[in-house]
Amino acid sequence: MKYKRLSKEQFEELHQEFINFLSTQSITADEWQNIKEETPEVAEQELDVFSDLVWEGVLTHARYLENISPQHLYLFELNSEDIRLIGLKISEDSVDITTAEGYEWLRENLLDDRVEIFQGKKAYSEDILLDRFGLIEQGAIITKGELFRYFDQLVG
C-alpha cells in the first residue's frame, strides 16, 4: 500500500465507486462476499488497492493545501514542478488563529512585528504524489486556495 487505507466512513461514501472498482475486475457482489469470508487477506488487498487509486486521484487534482495551528499558518500551492509555501508565524502566545477571535487578530495585525510572513519553494522528490500525501499526513487539508491567493497578493 502506497498511501493509507480509507476510513470506514470514506468507504461508505465511496460505496458505488468501490462496486464499480470490483466490477472492473469482474467481481460480483456474491463473489465479494465469498472473498471476504474465505480469503480475507485478498479482500484486504482489494481495499488497499482501491484506497491507493482514490488517493492518487485526489492527490493528482489537489492544487492547494492549508495547515493551520494556533501559532502557524502554512499555505501550499501544488504546482507541476514544485510546491510553493506562504507561511505565517505568530509570536503572540495569547493568540490562537484557529479561533474566530485569533483569526480576526491576525487580520488586524498582519503588518505587526509579532507576525512573521515567509515564502519558500521546494522541488518535488521523485514521487510528486507521495510528497503531497506527506503534507496531508502532517495535518494539511485540501482547499480551493482562497487564503493562498489572498496572501500571495499581499506578499507578491
Q: What is residue 42's predicted lDDT score, i.e. its pLDDT?
A: 93
Domain ranges in the chain are 8-61, 64-155
CA-based nearest residue to 17, from 47, 40, 44 = 47
Q: Note down pLDDT in tens along the chain; length 156 residues.
A: 999 999 999 999 999 999 999 999 899 999 999 999 999 999 999 999 999 999 999 999 999 999 999 999 999 999 999 999 999 999 989 999 999 999 999 989 988 999 999 999 999 999 999 999 999 999 999 999 999 999 999 887
pLDDT for position 118: 95
